[in-house]
Structure 1
Amino acid sequence: MNRTTAYATTSAVALPEQPAGPARTACRDRRAPVVRDLRDRSGRSPHALLFGPHDLVVVTGLPGSGKSTLMRRAVRGPRVDSQDTRDTWDGRLGHRLPYAVYRPLVRLAHYAGLARALRGGDGVVVHDCGTQSWVRGWLARAARRRGGTLHLLLLDVTPDTALDGMRERGRGVSRYAFLRHRGAAARLIRAVERGDLPPGVGSAVLLDRDAADVLRGIGFTGRSRPPAHRLA
């Protein structure tokens, strides 16, 4: 694995257009996975992450970890968040029916919206709970078709922090569902730490709560990119 981190003083980090390692290894292995670990920096981490104009970015983590909050605050460009879809359907049916009844409709509407977003060529940020690996496979194929790269942003928070987040928003999942999410998230984080990214994923960024809190921009570059030497 080529494990690289950004300077703590860097205000914006540009992710590589094609998966690449540091300059000394890029020519030898341009497809080596890139992992940026921004955890344990006490908030002294980049305020922005920049991706290519045709890239796809998946934000994943435990329920209650702050994925939707981060996307609403930081994404500069198209985003597809299943929580937005649920909020819309809750407004229509929540006062008459329990969520479990219309949950399949919410999922169908979310994936239909995602399909519409993927038909364009612009970069998109997508919310992902992390338990549906077929979704990442779909996104990886879509990224390749559009000439971009699929990236992961992983929110690494403790289960207690995630449970507190669900209580704060007044929503939660069953104990069984949370344990399933917890297992999937832990396996994904361990794999990324080893440099073993899911198929089709070009890079991953690990964020703890402090790093997520200082992140103010997740966006997409134009035709030209900031130089790769901005990474160390």
Structure 2
Amino acid sequence: MTVNRTTAYAATTGIPVPRRPAAVRSRDARPAPVVRDLRERAGRSPHALLFGPQDLVVITGLPGSGKSTLMGRAVRGVGIDSQDARDRWAGRMPRLLPYAVYRPLVRLAHYAAVRRALRAGRGLVVHDCGTQTWVRGWLARAARRRGGTLHLVLLDVTPDTALSGQRARGRGVSRYAFLRHRRATARLVRAVERGELPSGCDSAVLLDRDAADTLRSIAFRATGGAAPAHGR
């Protein structure tokens, strides 16, 4: 599968996205956003996503949905995972200290890492918890300034699957926090299914667990180079 500045290409059909009205297109030369739905393909979805050299990619979904696992396995290039910042701070804190106490420090460390990576000007993949919508706005503006675009990769798994993922990694979120994430993620999935992407986002890819497990590469093509082979 190839994702570039003007389109999100998949070997099979995704969700049709309504064209922008002519009046809007006359004021905004940006292409209409594209959504590709790779769910319910029983492992027959693409093995790779390829983005433009200046693009930014946000991976989002429920806590425990597999975002960190996907990033660790598939990202080719720079990836900033908020879980890495949490693990570093957890190693410095007393074992019995609740995460909520030092969570603001973790978030500051994560955003500082994202800011440093943005300065490098290369393609970047960022883990997004899904409830901090201002982060996507920040990244959309950063992508435009550097001549790239923002793309969304959304893991759509059931709450039970996400809770199982939390138990498997030995880390979880509070019931209140999980419900908040669940509502925010459900709203985002429904909006993407309608072709309504977050402001500044040019494309979205919907993954279920099978599609995420099949994905082996999230990469950025070299500046000025031909796009390498993609898909299965």
Specify the code of the residue in structure 2 equivalent to 1:135.
Answer: V
Alignment-derived partner of residue 9 in structure 1: none
- Cα 1:149–1:92 change in 2 (3 A) is same
Q: Does 1:78 align with 2:78?
A: yes
Q: Secondary structure at the match of 1:113?
A: helix
Q: Kindly tell me the number of residue pairs found equivalent between the two proteins.
A: 214
State how far apart, in whole Å, the 2-side matches of 1:124 and 1:139 are. 10
Q: Does 1:124 align with 2:124?
A: yes
Following superposition, the deviation at residue 96 of structure 1 comes to 5.8
Alignment-derived partner of residue 175 in structure 1: 175
Residues 45-64 of structure 1, C-alpha deviations (whole Å, 9 max, x = no match)? 11110000000000000000
Q: Secondary structure at the match of 2:4?
A: coil
Q: Hey, which bits of structure 1, 4+ residues long, moved more than 6 A?
A: none
Q: Secondary structure at the match of 1:76?
A: coil
Conserved? CA contact 1:61–1:129, under 8 Å: yes
Following superposition, the deviation at residue 16 of structure 1 comes to 2.2
State how far apart, in whole Å, the 2-side matches of 1:158 and 1:94 are. 33
State how far apart, in whole Å, the 2-side matches of 1:204 and 1:94 are. 40
- Cα 1:225–1:151 change in 2 (3 A) is farther
Alignment-derived partner of residue 134 in structure 1: 134
Superposed counterparts of 1:194-205, under 5 Å: 194-205=194-205
Alignment-derived partner of residue 4 in structure 2: 16
Following superposition, the deviation at residue 98 of structure 1 comes to 2.5
Alignment-derived partner of residue 106 in structure 1: 106
State how far apart, in whole Å, the 1-side matches of 2:76 and 2:141 are. 23
- Cα 1:170–1:94 change in 2 (3 A) is farther
Residues 10-51 of structure 1, C-alpha deviations (whole Å, 9 max, x = no match)? xxx1102234789xx99x976111011100000101111000
Conserved? CA contact 2:2–2:9, under 8 Å: no
State how far apart, in whole Å, the 1-side matches of 2:57 and 2:134 are. 15
State how far apart, in whole Å, the 1-side matches of 2:136 and 2:196 are. 15
Alignment-derived partner of residue 36 in structure 1: 36
Specify the code of the residue in structure 2 equivalent to 1:17.
Answer: R
Q: Secondary structure at the match of 2:97?
A: coil
Residues 119-147 of structure 1, C-alpha deviations (whole Å, 9 max, x = no match)? 11100000001111100000000000000
Conserved? CA contact 1:18–1:149, under 8 Å: no
Following superposition, the deviation at residue 224 of structure 1 comes to 3.2
Alignment-derived partner of residue 15 in structure 2: none
State how far apart, in whole Å, the 2-side matches of 1:53 and 1:64 are. 29
Conserved? CA contact 2:156–2:206, under 8 Å: yes
State how far apart, in whole Å, the 1-side matches of 2:59 and 2:201 are. 13
Residues 189-227 of structure 1, C-alpha deviations (whole Å, 9 max, x = no match)? 111111101110000000000000011100000123539
TM-score, length of structure 1 as denominator length:
0.87
TM-score, length of structure 2 as denominator length:
0.87
State how far apart, in whole Å, the 2-side matches of 1:57 and 1:150 are. 6
Following superposition, the deviation at residue 102 of structure 1 comes to 1.3
- Cα 1:150–1:75 change in 2 (3 A) is same
Unpaired runs of 5+ residues, structure 1, are 1-12
Q: Secondary structure at the match of 2:36?
A: strand
Specify the code of the residue in structure 2 equivalent to 1:79.
Answer: G
State how far apart, in whole Å, the 1-side matches of 2:121 and 2:57 are. 13
- Cα 1:86–1:41 change in 2 (3 A) is same
State how far apart, in whole Å, the 1-side matches of 2:158 and 2:98 are. 29
Conserved? CA contact 2:62–2:162, under 8 Å: yes
Alignment-derived partner of residue 212 in structure 1: 212
Conserved? CA contact 1:53–1:123, under 8 Å: yes
Conserved? CA contact 1:85–1:106, under 8 Å: yes
